């Protein structure tokens, strides 16, 4: 009887091992990075500069197509002022985020269509590199990295306009 129980317990343990997917560190990082982008989308659609900047690494680089871009979280904050003052934005995810892990960094690729709804009363001029069209479809390639606290943040934000 005891031998039968041991065989049954061993079989049950083997079955559990085969059917339960272990949670790994990489799975956790993947989920944290996806959550970072969901927060970023909410910030853009809510014109929330603080929420947007919170997702940026202190040494972030913005590299829009065709212009020099800028470096540093505070410079990015200044850039966003007229961007969010002049319009509100709606984001449609055309191709979901693909994440390639590389230790404490990752490359994230995705496609968005961003609709820009201009505030007719806004007089601020847009900074060089800001989206200006009514609707822009782009392929984004970002680098995310962990900051000093171990949180995933966007370190490099770049894109090419596809339509």
Four-point Cα dihedral 35, 57, 40, 106, nearest 10:
-50
pLDDT per position as a tens digit, 94-126: 999 999 999 889 999 999 999 999 987 876 788
Question: What is the average pLDDT score of the chain?
Answer: 86
Q: Which of 45, 48, 46 lies closest to 56 in space, CA to CA?
A: 48
Provide CB contacts within 8 A for 44, sequence distance 6+.
52, 89, 91, 114
Whether the predicted pLDDT of 19 surpasses 70: no
pLDDT for 141 beyond 90: yes
**pTM given for the model:** 0.81
Residues of the chain with pLDDT > 70, as a percent, come to: 83
**Extended beta strands in 64-104, E state:** 70-71, 87-102
pLDDT for the residue numbered 26: 64
**Which contiguous run of DSSP H or E holds residue 115?**
strand 105-118
- How high is the pLDDT of residue 53? 98
- Domain 25-161: state its class: alpha beta
Given this model, what pLDDT does residue 120 score? 78
| Cα 112 to Cα 93: distance, rounded to the nearest angstrom | 5
- Position with higher pLDDT, 27 vs 136: 136
73 compared with 27, residue with greater pLDDT: 73
Query: What is the tens place of the pLDDT at every residue in 43-72?
Result: 999 999 999 999 999 999 999 999 999 999
Res. 6: pLDDT tops 50:
no
Question: Quick check: 114 and 94 in contact, CB under 8 A?
Answer: no
**Every domain of the chain and the residues it spans:** 25-161
């Amino acid at each position: 009887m005891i031998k039968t129980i041991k065989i049954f317990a061993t079989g049950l343990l083997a079955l559990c091992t085969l059917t339960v997917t272990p949670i790994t560190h990489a799975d956790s990082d993947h989920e944290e990075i996806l959550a970072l982008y969901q927060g970023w989308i909410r910030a853009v659609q809510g014109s929330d500069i603080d929420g947007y900047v919170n997702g940026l690494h202190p040494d972030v680089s913005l590299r829009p197509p065709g212009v020099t871009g800028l470096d540093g979280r505070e410079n990015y904050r200044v850039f966003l002022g007229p961007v969010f003052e002049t319009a509100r934005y709606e984001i449609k995810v055309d191709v979901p985020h693909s994440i390639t892990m590389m230790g404490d960094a990752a490359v994230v690729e995705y496609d968005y269509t961003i609709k820009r709804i201009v505030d007719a009363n806004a007089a601020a001029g847009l900074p060089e590199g800001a989206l200006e069209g009514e609707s822009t479809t782009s392929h984004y390639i970002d680098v995310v990295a962990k900051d000093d606290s171990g949180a995933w943040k966007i370190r490099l934000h770049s894109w090419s306009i596809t339509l």
